[in-house]
Amino acid sequence: MTNVYGRPFLALALALSATGAAWAQGSRCTRETLAVKGMPLTVSYCVSAETSAASGHDLSVQVTESYGTSRGSFSTQSTLQFIAGESVSRVIEDVALTRLGLEGTLHLTLVYRGGLVRIESALLTPGAITIK
């Protein structure tokens, strides 16, 4: 007979707390899948913090970026600089795809709106192939 404070209970408690943490973070996360050279590339951006700034000044937004294919994945923490006071603000970001088992660089236009970071457009080089 298993004690309520035994290992099964602890495992269940840890699983439930992890699910709660993922859900809480997920509320400021976006996720989408892009087709890059016929391979699905899943991209997610989770906003962890933002600074306050006067309208028209740099707005620092801390983001966890995750990229994954069936060939590989990686995550990175970054601070993106948007413009405060704008209903929509954009930045350009380049992502080398070698760690994902693909060749080339993805040139992304990221948009910050409503506290979320999303991909507005994506271009693969070399070749200037429109992905989104």
Per-residue pLDDT of the chain (132 residues; tens, 9 = 90+): 444 444 443 333 333 333 333 444 447 999 999 999 999 999 999 999 999 888 989 999 999 999 999 999 999 999 999 999 999 999 999 999 999 999 999 999 999 999 999 999 999 999 999 999
Euclidean distance between CA atoms 48 and 64, whole angstroms = 7
Give the SS3 label for residue 79. strand
What is the structure's pLDDT at 27?
A: 77
What are the boundaries of each domain within the chain?
28-130
Rounded to two decimals, the pTM is: 0.76
DSSP 13-25: HHHHHHHHHHHHH
What is the structure's pLDDT at 108?
A: 97
Residue with tokens 């060749």: 103
The secondary structure of residue 100, as a DSSP letter, is G
